[in-house]
Chains A and B, each alone.
Chain A
Amino acid sequence: MFVNQFLFLAAVLFCIGVYGVVARKNAVLMLMSIELILNSVNINLLTFALRNGSPDGHTFALYIIAVAAAEVGVGLGLVLLVYRNKKTISLDDLSEMRG
């Protein structure tokens, strides 16, 4: 099995995700980037699970998929509320938390 290729794919996806989170201004796109990160982690877990022949990794991947679904639900709900109040979903305009 080409373990390296799987890990490489995961690393690339992770980097794309991090780039998306840091650089994108659109909240929905940021959520999508987070999904990318989570899935790259999933690939990592599955890769090592297959290599070691243990079911732990599969279990964790299932957990992560379930948690990610919930997280997207909450995240999109937040975005919707932000849009209703501000008529925009640009993250640059949301700086009320500035200290």
Chain B
Amino acid sequence: MNIFSGETEVLAPLATGWFLENAWLIPVIPAIAFALIILIGKRLPMKGSELGVLSMFGSLVLSAGAGYQWIQRTNSATEEQFVAPVIKSWNWWQSGGFEFGIGQHIDGLSVLVLFVVAFISTLVQVYSLEYLRGDRRYTHFFAALTLFSGGMLAMVLADNTILFLLGWEIMGLCSFMLIGHWWEEDANSRAALKAFFTVRTGDMGLLVGISMLYFAANDWTQENLGLSGFSIRGISAWALSGEPNSTVIMIAAIALFIACIGKSGQFPLHTWLPDAMAGPTPVSSLLHSSTMVVAGVFLVARLYPVFYVGLDIPGGGGNLIVIIGGITIVISAALAFVQNDIKRVLAYSTVSQLGYMMLGLGAGAWLPAVFHIFTHAFFKACLFLGAGSISHSASHHSFDMKKDMGGLRKVMPITFVTWIVSTLALCGVFPFSGFFSKDEIIDNVGYNGYNTFMIIGLVGAFMTAAYMTRATYLTFFGEPRGASAGHADHGDAHASHDAHDNHDSHDNHDAHSASTPHESGLLITVPLMILAVLAMSSGFLNATPFGESWERMKLWVEPRPAEVIEETHSGGPGESLIINLPSSEEGAAKTVCGSAQPESGVCYAPKLKHAPFKWSKAMISMVIVFLGIAISWILSMLLFTKRDPRLVGLTQRVKVLGFGHKLLVNKYYLDDFYEKVIVRTVAYPISRAAYWFNQNILDGILHSFANNTRKISEWVYKNVDQRVVDGTVNNSATFTKSVGTAAQPSQSGKVSQYGALLFSAAAVAALVLVIINT
């Protein structure tokens, strides 16, 4: 790899630092905290929750430091210079020629997601201190929450697919524990199982994809980079090298994407996500808005070259990812209209936003999609925590907007303001963060030649604005209803909303069950306010409308695809990079790297196009969003407050609308399809056949086998055991005794005699040797 053309240029070493070099500590801290909470948590003054909060805070400090130093690193590079990720790798275990590494791969993407995960986790843990106070399994809740964050952090900085898989599965397990936290309720444990199994269905794809990539890429990566076929860096370079067989990489990309469908709640495996709202609200906020469901999107962003080449993303028109993403945006947004449960509205909204991220990634808008992960985490966590705040302090732990909410804007001013800010961010109204990420996705999708999907994105934006307005209206405006009016029958509220209710703190609630709705405590409102500020301002980190100098994210996060030959100069700290600048000859074939690929160079990221920002295009989406808000507002007011006779009962009167409503309420019958059709047709016949086989064939074999065995054993006892075996044993004993008696005189006890015997035996042996050898 030491071939340099005349154009090579030695550049200054990239800045690095302690936080970047030791980023692997970030997931280690929560992992240790998890063990400590499990072991000694119950004996601590705060039942182990302090360990969880502290460890998350430690991770947050470390990831903020890593983020700062990464920014310095990118700033120390020149405009087109490839910013090498900080990779550290250790040999974890080795088996039959397979080497499994463990290590960190720190680049802009992982630094960004690390920070988001650590930040949201810290706030959620603080929030949980108040929200779960007095819970029966308080300590275990914090243990699972901490391990969950540790798993996500490990996955984010994994340098190879095996470690990635490990983090991915830890999250799957922890989500099962957290969703089923109140497992005494049958519905909760069912939801936990459903989430676990649905995600597991997708995980098969991850295993298949990882194995395929290993066997396809290993030779190339070993030869060219000295990395194993599990290495994320190696796989990325291999995918862009032009080597891979297009069928193999396509199937691998599809297999990996199936895992993303399961984890990120994309159509048709999105059904687990709304049910997973059965868990405590902080769990919904952490798992199902900003971390776990983002894992699938992160996988696509992380192994982007594989998808880029495998699914022909630059080709335009349509591919698997954009189709799935587009379908998900629309169908889940439609479902959000018929939900009465505030958390389910948010859940479907999350599914829909994840659809946007997938759409962006699938259409080559890598940076806007990753930026949307960033902004979405803040405003969606804020919305979920706001919903939790309402149920905690105002509606007696009910999440039903129609029965137990309404008119809350006066009694819960902080929750109301933070909710409104986050809602505007989610809808993508101009100065809020959602605008800068979502609008960029829609814009770039169209720019990259996916025009149909741009329209779907705009339709999705309209629907998002409309259903969020409906939810906001039902919750905060109009007349207070049910529990939020302060005269709810407590037991009744519990009975009708048991699926989401915090049952094991009955005693705790009874203390303030008589009280009227009020604002939540500081432990709840402070996280809300922090998140709302970020929901408002985080968009300015990549504010494309204001010109190049505002596009900080592009500078910091997007990989610069220049080809490099990396040479580490031994002895010095840090590393110097010698860059083989891409030749700019006319007529040179352009590769996915954006330039002719030099023979010895390796490309780690595809060159992506960015749509130039135009106010005219932004105005179109703004108008659509405002239309959505306005139409929905008017309809909500007419329907829910004025009880307009033209609208009330419309679904009963008009058949087409009634059919649509029924379809949505039943979630497109997907759950029925999975349970009744797939499970019945697949599982029932199998189990029936298995039962028949068990009863008739296996049992028959067993019975006849048992009878025969008994007969044989009786015969064996009489003839073999008594006669042959016992006889042999007795005879051998007699024989040994007589031999012993005969040999007794040789044991004289005289040393000289023993010596004589020894030497004569040696002499005989020597004689035998001599005879044999001659």
* A residues at B contact (CB < 8 Å): 18, 21-25, 30, 91-92, 94-99
Instruction: From A22, A25, A96, name the one whose CB has the most chain B CB atoms within 10 angstroms.
Output: A22
Interface residues of B in 709-763 (CB under 8 A from A): 744, 746-752, 755-756, 759
The 14 listed contacts between A and B (C-beta, < 8 Å) are: A18-B759, A21-B755, A21-B759, A22-B752, A22-B755, A25-B752, A30-B752, A91-B751, A91-B752, A92-B750, A95-B749, A95-B750, A98-B748, A99-B749
Name which residue of chain B comes closest to A17, CB basis: B759
Interface residues of B in 473-501 (CB under 8 A from A): none
> In the bound complex, do residue A22 and residue B759 qualify as a contact, i.e. CB atoms below 8 Å apart?
yes
Supposing A18-B759, A99-B744 touch, asked if A23 and B752 sit within 8 A by C-beta, the answer is yes
In the complex, chain A residues whose CB is within 8 Å of the CB of B756: 22
In the complex, chain B residues whose CB is within 8 Å of the CB of A25: 752
CA distance A91 to B746 in the complex (A): 17
Supposing A21-B759, A22-B759 touch, asked if A30 and B751 sit within 8 A by C-beta, the answer is yes
In the complex, chain A residues whose CB is within 8 Å of the CB of B747: 97-99
In the complex, chain A residues whose CB is within 8 Å of the CB of B752: 21-25, 30, 91-92
Min CB–CB distance B766 → chain A (angstroms)? 11
CA distance A95 to B749 in the complex (A): 4
In the complex, chain B residues whose CB is within 8 Å of the CB of A94: 749, 751
What 3 pairs across the A-B complex have the smallest Cβ distances? A99-B747, A98-B749, A95-B749
In the complex, chain B residues whose CB is within 8 Å of the CB of A30: 751-752, 755
In the complex, chain A residues whose CB is within 8 Å of the CB of B748: 95, 98
CA distance A92 to B747 in the complex (A): 14
In the complex, chain A residues whose CB is within 8 Å of the CB of B751: 30, 91, 94
Name which residue of chain B comes closest to A96, CB basis: B749
CA distance A99 to B747 in the complex (A): 5
In the complex, chain A residues whose CB is within 8 Å of the CB of B759: 18, 21-22
Name which residue of chain B comes closest to A95, CB basis: B749
Instruction: From B747, B755, B759, name the one whose CB has the most chain A CB atoms within 10 angstroms.
Output: B755
Min CB–CB distance A27 → chain B (angstroms)? 8
> In the bound complex, do residue A91 and residue B749 qualify as a contact, i.e. CB atoms below 8 Å apart?
no
Name which residue of chain B comes closest to A14, CB basis: B759
Name which residue of chain B comes closest to A21, CB basis: B755
Min CB–CB distance B767 → chain A (angstroms)? 15
In the complex, chain B residues whose CB is within 8 Å of the CB of A96: 749
CA distance A99 to B753 in the complex (A): 13
CA distance A47 to B750 in the complex (A): 35
Min CB–CB distance B590 → chain A (angstroms)? 67
CA distance A97 to B759 in the complex (A): 20
Min CB–CB distance B8 → chain A (angstroms)? 53
**Extra contacts besides A21-B755, A99-B746 (7): CB < 8 Å:** A24-B752, A25-B752, A95-B749, A96-B749, A97-B747, A97-B749, A99-B749
Name which residue of chain A comes closest to B748, CB basis: A98
In the complex, chain B residues whose CB is within 8 Å of the CB of A98: 747-749
CA distance A7 to B7 in the complex (A): 77
CA distance A97 to B752 in the complex (A): 13
CA distance A95 to B745 in the complex (A): 13
Min CB–CB distance B751 → chain A (angstroms)? 5
Min CB–CB distance B401 → chain A (angstroms)? 90
CA distance A99 to B748 in the complex (A): 7
Min CB–CB distance B690 → chain A (angstroms)? 67
In the complex, chain B residues whose CB is within 8 Å of the CB of A24: 752
Name which residue of chain A comes closest to B745, CB basis: A99
Min CB–CB distance B576 → chain A (angstroms)? 50
In the complex, chain A residues whose CB is within 8 Å of the CB of B750: 91-92, 95
Min CB–CB distance A24 → chain B (angstroms)? 8
Min CB–CB distance B738 → chain A (angstroms)? 15
Min CB–CB distance B344 → chain A (angstroms)? 82
Min CB–CB distance A79 → chain B (angstroms)? 12
Instruction: From B744, B746, B748, B752, name the one whose CB has the most chain A CB atoms within 10 angstroms.
Output: B752
In the complex, chain A residues whose CB is within 8 Å of the CB of B746: 99
Min CB–CB distance A36 → chain B (angstroms)? 13
CA distance A25 to B753 in the complex (A): 11
CA distance A18 to B761 in the complex (A): 13
CA distance A24 to B756 in the complex (A): 11
CA distance A22 to B752 in the complex (A): 5
Name which residue of chain B comes closest to A99, CB basis: B747
Min CB–CB distance B745 → chain A (angstroms)? 8
Min CB–CB distance A8 → chain B (angstroms)? 17
Min CB–CB distance B176 → chain A (angstroms)? 64
CA distance A91 to B753 in the complex (A): 10
CA distance A19 to B484 in the complex (A): 113
In the complex, chain B residues whose CB is within 8 Å of the CB of A97: 747, 749
In the complex, chain A residues whose CB is within 8 Å of the CB of B749: 94-99
Name which residue of chain B comes closest to A37, CB basis: B759
